[in-house]
Chain A
Amino acid sequence: MTAVLAALLALCVFPGLLFAAAGGLAAEFVDRKLHARMQNRVGPPWFQPLADFVKLLSKEELIPGQADRFVFRAMPILALAAATTALFCIPLFGPRAISRFEGDALVVLYLLTLPTLSFFLGGWASTSPYASIGSMRSLTQLFAYEVPLLMVLMAPGLLAGSWSLSGMALFFQAHALLALSNLPGLCVALVALLGKLEKVPFDLAEAETEIVAGTFTEYSGRRLAFFRLAVDVEAVVAASLLASVFLPWGLSLPLAATVPLYLFKVLAVLFVLALLRTILARLRLEQMLEFCWKWLAPAAMLQLLISVLLAGGLSR
């Protein structure tokens, strides 16, 4: 009985929906505030993302007549669920996540890809020309950033000899200095993350000036609120993932210290993401593909090489 209750609590509160949603909204606020301040503007107050969410919940929902109703309605929920579930496998305040098993790193990556797929399907099901182009771009974009991101998240795993995020965290807790070898991977991951989170310079799937709102064009009301929340939760999940994999220091400290440390790491990642999205222009599809395959993928392979060599050296 208590196990069921504990599971329910984990699902709904921590690190489930409530924590993920609150974290997502806070992350959106941080991003928008930083973006605004860097542009010499004031920026929104802290409750703005929450206010936007509540406002969207109260709006009318319109579904295009020709849309595939089931897919259209299911996709926002799929996106939110997938993003939130990923948080279970990521070690937040210590080297152990709530749910850990060999291979959970790949599960997390898979769960992070599901929202992109749901954006694609949602846009496709909308049958609006803007949404179709947006979803096509979103999927094509996947080919550009997914491979470097995967490679660079596997590199620490190779070094740690474990496909579990918790296992990696435990390994680096023991060998803190080795984590420094992952720094090139951190840089690659930060850039690839801009693609995953569909932020400038890789936000062509949702380019406001070109295709109105891309995959989200036909969404309104509650479903749009869930989609936006899914994007925010993805940001928190991705930042936590980066913090746990590439910045795995101080995990053995007591809880009172690891919570602020975790917040600090996530804020640092969000800061870099906000800076990058403020100072760069949006790239076109083929320019993004060219950049990712010419620069990002080789950098990721370099990181892999470093990790392989170090792993080989260690085992001897």
Chain B
Amino acid sequence: MYAVILGCGRTGLNLAKELLEQGHEITIIEKDRTRSDQANELLGQISVVGDGCQQHLLASVGLKRADVFIALSRTDEDNLISCQLAKHVFAVPKTIALINNPINEDLFRILGVDVRISSTSLILQHIEEELSASVVHMQALGSSARELVSITIPPDASAVGKRLVDISMPAESLVSLIVTKEGNTRFPDELFEIQPNDQALVVTTPERELDVRRVLTGVD
């Protein structure tokens, strides 16, 4: 496979290294001469200095025969326009772009960039997954050492689709209220079936809290 990469930052360099090791042919286009030289020192003569939005430069690296174009520069304009040129002028079958500002994701999608990678969105998604499996403390209940916590059920939790009667809740713990994804409030009886993204309000004790989380979300 022949891959042309725009941008020789850390991501571009590591990707090039990886692809070279897998036996692919690589060219990196980089605006900055120092960076380009570094890549050539490290990986052999694979980098050319230039502006990836200029058609003559893209032509000179043989973009016409490339199987994939990967735009990893730090500016969204360069990534979008170079991918469009790769697609519409050089008929590259697959274009991949890094999106620096996540708000631009829709634009890249509408304009036909095949694969879009947004680092901010990726990190956010991981954080949200992490958070969605966490226990949010709502209220300590009187002096009884009971507390009210909120747990959002992740879509992949083992509890999804199960009736409450089939879930063995830890002692001193009770699912007392469910707020569905749509915002409907339910008093769950034994036959209530847990759905993805349900918010469960649970009365429990600080000692049982993690057991409750494990039972409802599958996260230890």
A and B co-occur in one complex: no
- Chain A contact residues, CB within 8 Å of chain B: none
- Chain B contact residues, CB within 8 Å of chain A: none
